[in-house]
A and B are shown apart, each in its own frame.
Chain A
Amino acid sequence: EIVLTQSPATLSLSPGERATLSCRASQSVNNYLAWYQQKPGQAPRLLIYDASNRATGIPARFSGSGSGADFTLTISSLEPEDFAVYYCQHQGNWYTFGQGTKLEIK
């Protein structure tokens, strides 16, 4: 089973700042890596797929990068609605998620 480790666990930033979230896999995942955003009381929302492709309707301030086993989600300039929990996810023998990074207002 491939394990996804996200860091940091919590990131405290202010609106307008740049956010950089990390996801590291225990082995190469061939770029089949997705990112989701979850707000309180809501289901996760797909943001990025195949490491760097934005899902339908996702603003351009969200970008994904990386390859192999190291991936990054970047939010170029934080909007108030971006403060949420972010998860990475991969397809292995089954589907696994990272433990999440909470992006909170500083």
Chain B
Amino acid sequence: QVQLQQWGAGLLKPSETLSLTCAVYGGSFSYYSWTWIRQSPEKGLEWIGEVNHSGSTNFNPSLKSRATMLVDMSKNQFSLKLTSVTAADTAMYYCARKYRGYLFDHWGQGAQVTVSS
């Protein structure tokens, strides 16, 4: 049974850096790509980016300049950093497993991130 458990700071001030980590339990970590998706009332579901086991990344062009994703194979974990946050980055952030090239079949529980001065 595959489970994703995520954590990170929930309240940030403008210009700070968002940092989230997702741990994967069960299944093969190295076989899949691992993604971050966020959800807000204004933008709906928005794909942020993905990282594979070797550390290769792809990002949504709208966030590429501010986003970094890393993978820690020894812990079956991957992480997201998003710099220079603004109120527009306020959202529920999910980690998820990418499956069959474009699907997201296992999700973390979500982490609410609020950016406010």
Say whether A49 contacts B47, CB under 8 Å. no
Known contacts A43-B94, A49-B100, A94-B61; is-contact A87 B45 (Cβ 8 Å): yes
CB atoms of B105 and A94 under 8 A apart: no
Q: What is the distance, in angstroms, from B115's C-beta to the closest C-beta of chain A?
A: 21
Q: When chains A and B are docked, how far (Å) is the Cα of A44 from the Cα of B110?
A: 10
A contacts with B: majority SS: strand
For residues 12 through 66 of chain A, which have their beta carbon under 8 Å from a beta carbon of chain B?
32, 34, 36, 43-46, 49-50, 55
Nearest chain B CB to A3 CB, angstrom units: 12
Q: Is B109 an interface residue (CB 8 A)?
A: yes
B92-111 CB mask vs A (1 if < 8 Å, else 0) is: 00101001111111011110
**CA of A49 to CA of B104, assembled, Å:** 10
User: CA–CA, A100 to B44, complex, Å?
Assistant: 8
Interface residues on A, range: 20 to 34
CB-CB under 8 A for A91 and B101, given A44-B45, A97-B44, A97-B45 = yes
Report whether B44 and A99 are in contact in the complex, using a CB–CB cutoff of 8 Å.
Answer: yes
Question: What interface size band does chain B fall in?
Answer: 20 to 34
Tell yes or no: A102 within 8 A of B by CB.
no
B72 to chain A, nearest CB (A): 22
List the B residue with the shortest CB-CB distance to A96. Answer: B47
| Cβ 8 A contact of B104, one of A32, A44, A96, A99 | A44
Between B99, B104, B110, the greatest number of chain A beta carbons within 10 A of the residue's beta carbon is seen for: B104
Q: If A97-B45, A99-B44 touch, does A91 touch B102 (CB 8 Å cutoff)? A: yes
B15 at the interface (CB under 8 A from A): no
Task: Tell me the A76-99 residues at the B interface (CB within 8 Å).
Answer: 87, 89-91, 94-99
State whether A94 and B107 are in contact (beta carbons under 8 Å apart), knowing that A32-B102, A43-B94 are contacts in the complex.
no
Q: Which residues of B contact A (CB under 8 A)?
A: 35, 44-47, 58, 60-61, 94, 96, 99-105, 107-110
Please report A residues at the B interface, Cβ cutoff 8 Å.
32, 34, 36, 43-46, 49-50, 55, 87, 89-91, 94-100
